[in-house]
Structures are given as structure tokens and as C-alpha cells.
Amino acid sequence: MSGHSKWSQIKRQKGVTDVKRGQAFTKLGREIAVAARTGGPNLEMNARLRLAVERARAANMPVDTIDRAIKRATGATAEGTLDEITYEGYGPGGAALLIEVLTDNRKRAVAEVRNAFTRAGGSLAEAGAVAWLFQQRGVLTIESPSQDPDEIGLMAIDAGAEDVRVDDDMVEIFTAPTDLEAVRSSLGEAHVEVTSAEVAMIPNTTLALDGHHTISTLRLMERLEDLDDVQKVYTNIEISEEAVAAYAEA
């Protein structure tokens, strides 16, 4: 399992409080609004919007809240414009981090992100400092597949996937961002139930840290994701099963 998926697993294991659920809805609403603004409100024609809406539905976000987010982008409601920004930084032990932000106040956003790094003993970096360590890829996950994982992998490769990883009860499929929808559609036609599909920043290589620095980096990632303006956080560190278990219990 990739570090990206392990971080998602950690967040699920720690559970979701009512406060964090409300915050998640706000972030999903922002992503929907920006996706609709940049690509139009038609889900069939706008892959980014379709993925955002699917994530919102998976999180049990109310339908009327989703509709309001789309209307926000079309001018049907009067709300401020959101800027998309990616911050880069170094965490404990030299971990590289990318932080995707949607904000209506750039000064507030950068101040909060910088403060999170400082508290963790890391530092905010200049643009381009760590971005080259990552590649934008389509990522599909299939949890507890009913079909043979190896067969799913072969189907995905035939449909245009670049890489497949099978780990315990999960299949991870990596594609070029532009091929994500085609691969997912092909799997759907074969009755493969895709758990999640997204475009994410995946590290080209991973960095092995000791247990202390791994846990410190995970704490920094959680602190960053708790910020209202932060949408997603990515890192290049290896996350062991021991680290997953230890952090879930922390």
C-alpha cells in the first residue's frame, strides 16, 4: 500500500468527530465550487467536478449542500472567490510536503501553514523546492475486491493503467491523470466496484525516517489538514504498518 493510501487509512482509523465532519463538508464544498467554476457545472463534461461530487456523496454530504456549492460557481449565490495555491515545505527529519489550499485570504492561509510547520520543527519552502519530487497521477483504490486482485490488475493495465499494487485486501491502480476516467469506466463495465478515484500527487521515490520522525511528520500532516483552508496534504515518507498502528492509537 502506498504512503498516500496509508495516510487515508490512518485518518479513517482515528475516526471523524462532528467538528471534523462539518469541516470536511466545507472543504468538499469549496472543491466542488472551484471545479465547477473552472470546468463548468455539467458533471458529464467536467471530470474534476464529477470526482469532487462523488467524494462528497461518499462522505454523506447533503444533496442540497452539493447543489449550493455548484451554484456558488455559476454566480447563483454571492460568495467570495477562492484562490488555489500549493505550498511546499520540509517536515521533521527532512520529509517533503505539498499542501494544496483553497482560500479567500492568501495572507491568512500562508501564516497558518507556516505556523504549523514551525510548531513541528519544519519549515515552509520556496515554490519548486519539493514539487519536483512528486508526480500528478490518477489513483483508484479497490478495497476488499470480490474478484481476483491479479485479474483486476490485468484489466486495469489493459484499460491503460500505468501501475498496479496489490496489498492484503486492497488494490491500488495508478494512471495518467487524463486516463483515470477511462480506466475507471472500463473496470465498472467489468463490475469491479471502485472504492475511490482521485487525482493526487504521488512521490517519485520515498524517504525512510525513524519512528520518531515518522510520527512527528504524521502529526504535522494532521495539523495542516485541520486548517480550514487546506484541502490536501502529501508527503514522500514511507509509512510502515507499525507507524499506522502507533499513530492511530495516539
pLDDT tens string 158-170: 999 999 998 878 8
Of 99 and 22, the one with more pLDDT: 99
Cell of 19: 467538528
CA angle 91–93–98, rounded 5-degree value:
30
Of 69 and 217, the one with more pLDDT: 217
Mean pLDDT of the chain: 87
pLDDT of the residue at 75: 62
pLDDT at 244 over 80: no
Cell of 86: 500549493
pLDDT of the residue at 21: 73
35: confidence class by pLDDT, cuts 50, 70, 90: confident
Nearest to 57 by CA among 39, 84, 31, 93: 31
Percent of the chain having pLDDT more than 90?
56
Tens digit of each residue's pLDDT (9 = 90 or more) over 111-159: 999 999 999 999 999 999 999 999 999 999 998 888 899 999 999 999 9
Residues 7 and 21: beta-carbon distance below 8 Å: no
E runs forming strands in the chain: 83-90, 96-103, 123-125, 134-143, 163-167, 170-175, 196-203, 230-235
Of 10 and 145, the one with more pLDDT: 145
Residues 232 and 34: beta-carbon distance below 8 Å: no
CA angle 172–189–147, rounded 5-degree value:
50
SS3 239: coil
SS3 206: coil
Amino acid at position 57, single letter: R
Tens digit of each residue's pLDDT (9 = 90 or more) over 189-199: 999 999 889 99
Residue holding cell 472504492?
Answer: 195
pLDDT of the residue at 169: 81
pLDDT at 207 over 80: yes
pLDDT of the residue at 78: 46
Q: Is 27 left (phi over 0), alpha (psi -120 to 50) or beta?
A: alpha
- Give the contacts of 242 (CB within 8 A, at least 6 positions apart): 211
Cell of 5: 493510501
18: confidence class by pLDDT, cuts 50, 70, 90: low
- Torsion from C-alpha of 202, 206, 209, 214, nearest 10 degrees: 20
40: confidence class by pLDDT, cuts 50, 70, 90: confident
Q: What 8-state DSSP symbol labels residue 179? A: G
13: confidence class by pLDDT, cuts 50, 70, 90: low
pLDDT of the residue at 154: 95
Q: In the chain, what are the domains?
A: 3-74 (1.10.10.200)
Stretch 58-80: mean pLDDT, rounded?
77
φ, ψ of residue 232 to 5 degrees: the values are -145, 150
**Residues, the chain:** 250
pLDDT at 6 over 70: no
Residues 6 and 206: beta-carbon distance below 8 Å: no
9: confidence class by pLDDT, cuts 50, 70, 90: low
pLDDT of the residue at 69: 84
